[in-house]
Amino acid sequence: MTQGYPTRNFGQPTKRYCQTLDLKNDPELIRTYQIYHSESEMWPEILEGFHTIGILEMELYQLKERLFMIVETPLDFDWDTAMERLATLPRQAEWEAFVSRFQKCSPEDTSNEKWKMMTRIFHIYK
């Protein structure tokens, strides 16, 4: 972890959104949640939905039961419009209901209702 994670260059100006969500404090549920987010187990319809609405990159980081998500998009990306559209795409509601068993949220919540936007309080200013 101390070697860092490479980032992708999209050849265009981008912006990022940072969000957090808490998982249920159960080590077995957390391990299962990690498995379902692995490359081999992630539902392809969900990945396709992210691309369909214009998300360029999405990363999840975990510390115990706390998740941190970074979403990178083009500068003209409209979050609210994109999330409304995402909720209507194939298997999205099914996925949200499925993963809700691991998360501290309601099974009826959309992704946009579960994940809480974070406020940036610092960056290297120059």
Average pLDDT of the chain is 96
Is the predicted pLDDT of residue 86 greater than 90, yes or no?
Answer: yes
Whether 108 shows a pLDDT value over 90: the answer reads no
Is residue 77 very low, low, confident or very high in pLDDT (cuts 50, 70, 90)?
A: very high
Percentage with pLDDT > 90 across the chain: 94
pLDDT at site 110 = 86
The Cα 36–Cα 110 span in angstroms is 18
- What pLDDT does 112 receive? 87
User: Residues of 84-94 as b/e, b for ≥16 C-beta within 10 angstroms?
Assistant: eebbebeebee
* Band (107; pLDDT cuts 50, 70, 90): confident
